[in-house]
Structure 1
Amino acid sequence: MNDKIYCSCCGVENSINQNYCKDCGEVLHNFKEYETNNEINTIEELFTATHYHQLTDKILRIESYKAIIQNIIETGENEIIYKKKMTPLNRIKAIADAYAKVIYKNRGNTYGEYAYNVICIDKQFDSAIQIATILHELTHHLFNEIIEEILIFLWNVRKTPMLESFIQTMITIPSILLISEYCASSIEKEYLPPEYVSYSSFNSICADLNYDKNIILRAVIIGKSMTESIHQILSTFIDKELEEKIIKEFQINNTKTIAEPICITDIEKSNYILQNVYLMDMIINSYEIMNDKQIYPKIIKNKEYYEKFYEKESA
């Protein structure tokens, strides 16, 4: 059990025995133990002045962000199911299943896709490509999870289909999708042979954005730090032995190379301070953009998809 609690308002570290922040007086809650009845189930409950000011006024400290990542790690540890003599593909699938749901379908020429907590993999491709695709799509899911946990922390609410729908709709904004694609391809870079790492989706979005340097710079700063966080999550489950087996899968299958280098000069170092500033700016800007009556139907439709997902899971 953690012996520290970080205030969701000011980010100050407090003792686990304290009920109120020693600095600002905000009510404290522990990530694992705190149970709230606060829920967001409607558009009216999602877009409120209170939620907006909680985004603009509260501080996401580095310590709070790290605690969020640790919470996501422990969620996976509690959910993962391993079996004896699992292949590298089955082990990667087990990791993904701890966070989302992996299904197999014939999808023509697409390797896979992710939406609504479901990772869809084309079973026509060899095991190495399937591993790469699961890692890529799982990264998209973990990206969503990080954003969602930040909102749960700042808003002091429970996970609901409406909250998940908000995140799912948010990542359709090109500048946000750009970050998610950067993370997904960068995670490939951590685990795959270099000749199989492709930034094609990232490059395509950059082109759609007319290679706007400011948008891309912010995306890479956020993406690089979030990639480190997602890698931290995955490295809890993917040890050196499994890493080596993943590499061998490409050799065994003699998989055709699909590499496409990133279209920009990369940034060498992460910047956690800028990351959190830019990350909160991204969330605030997205909240403002999506608080639009023309976008509400899309959010509601996505909510219905999440509700159907949970209905199937509970059946």
Structure 2
Amino acid sequence: GGARTGRGRRASFSRTTAGHLARLARAGVRGARPENWYAITALSDGGPAFAEDEPITISPSQVEAFTTCGLRWLLASAVGAQEGGPNEYSTMGKVVHAVAEMAGADDGVDEVHVAQRLDEIWKDLEFRSSWYSEKQREQAARMVDKFLAWHRDNPNEVVALEESFKVDLGRVVIKGRIDRAERDDQGRAVIIDIKTSSTAVPKDELARHPQLGVYQYAVMLGAFERHGLIEPGGAKLIQVGKAAFTAKAREQEQPPPAEDADPEWPKRLVEIVATGMAGDVFQARANDKCRTCPVRSCCPVHDEGGQVGD
């Protein structure tokens, strides 16, 4: 009798719940219809993201994004769910890169030329107020000063600035753009990536930093052979934003792959990522970039995450 009573109570509760959900659904409340609940509907497409004969084009930044979170890469890069509009760091990045390119092309550039270039750039930017524009202008000037001080003390020869590259490996194509390529005193390539973000890469992650590793792998594959650069001599992140030191740029260096316990690690990384991108399952990984993720509302790792697609 007790078992039957328990079943009866559960059935009554289910009917009551169903009635409430039906009223909410008729009222147009989002999520009230069970057919729209997470993991209830069938997959839109159970196949891989790429057709079997479709080329897989990857960039150094995409390799880093994929290793951080496969689901975010799929939705942000492959499907097109991007951040909403330009932010402070992307704007500052464009400004600092423009001045860095000018400095790299002309060692005689001085503070007057830099100020003039900043004024030219600032005319094309839009800010929500003159106060905010002035504040950002001051911040940009500080970043530029840090970069120029680093540039003047840098002993390497600047060989290429803001240059695109492409390496064809068959089905996999590595395609990207570097801020600058330098030649060190041993004739090796040193790839430079200028950063204006607020967070530095943890020291223990630099040796296997994905983006820098792919840059060095591209050197090994002949991406910059036209400049006489065929051997990687390391890669560097030049932090000039809040991740920099108070009065100067922070240089974060990755050693050449030859100095790693596994010299083939960049090659293996590209192979693993290319295989993963071509697959049909993309893992969501909780990480320190989740807070600013543009697809957080679609991510099952987080409580607010919902269903992706229909």
Shorter-chain TM range is under 0.3
TM-score, normalization by structure 1: 0.26
Q: Which has the larger radius of gyration?
A: 2
TM-score, normalization by structure 2: 0.26
Higher strand share: 2
RCO comparison, higher one (Cα < 8 Å, 6+) = 2
Higher helix share: 1
